[in-house]
Amino acid sequence: MTAPPTRPRTALLWTIAVLAAASLVVGVVGVVTATTGAASPTAITGTSLDGKQVTLDPGESGTAASASNAVADTGVQLVVPSVGLEVPLGELDAVDGQITPPGFSEAYRVRNLGVPLVDRADGTVFVVMHSLRNGAIGPGNLLIDVDGQRSEVTVGSRVRIGDARWTVTGSERITKATVAADADVWADEPGRLLLITCLQRPDGSASVDNVVIEATLYR
């Protein structure tokens, strides 16, 4: 997918944003599980933060992951001190309306949504990551309170990416069925950071909700 212009906010941008949002339900907040034994030859596999082998479940878009021009580490870290999150920040592209991170121990900025870090004062920086189930830990697991079914990151918490700083202003639990049409989520607003992952369920079944954490730039 060709990256859309970020200024001005055109109808094309909104169209692509909605398509990407729909794919977030599949890719970014898709079903990823800890596995044992050999995976399918075509499966997307990797290692979780706690060293477990994990596999993107069948039905998730391995093609999008492979074609996303993903970089696992851009040389800066995503840090949320209040929950102990410190992971490399990579980058990827939405591909044919789908966003599927290929890695399970990094966060990824979506290049063709919002703005790059250097332009963070002018728009929204969208960052996505996997959370995992069946006992594995991904970056997104540190952001969520599974038992409470909400964000673990409280209002006022700080977020760092390189020399940029944001303050968390709120979080929202959004069903996967409705997130694609939520214009508030996908608004490209000055000085805004959005962290998106899936909200895992206490019983270990497939996630049906997303957690969206919003923060405002202060440096």
Residue 6 is assigned to a structural domain of this protein:
no
Residue 2 is assigned to a structural domain of this protein:
no
- Summarize pLDDT for 152-181 with one digit per residue, the tens: 999 999 999 999 999 999 999 999 888 877
Stated pTM of the model:
0.82
Torsion of CA 102, 16, 195, 133, to 10 degrees: -40
CATH code, 146: 2.40.260.10
- Predicted confidence band at 10 (pLDDT cuts at 50, 70, 90)? very low
Give Dmax (Cα) for the chain.
50
What's the pLDDT at 16? Answer: 33
Stated length of the chain: 219
**Which domain covers residue 73, as residue numbers?**
11-217
Q: How many whole angstroms separate alpha carbon 41 and alpha carbon 37?
A: 12
Most confident of 44-53, 90-99, 172-181: 44-53
Least confident of 58-62, 107-111, 193-197: 58-62
Domain count, the chain: 1
Residue 65 is assigned to a structural domain of this protein:
yes
Residue 190 is assigned to a structural domain of this protein:
yes
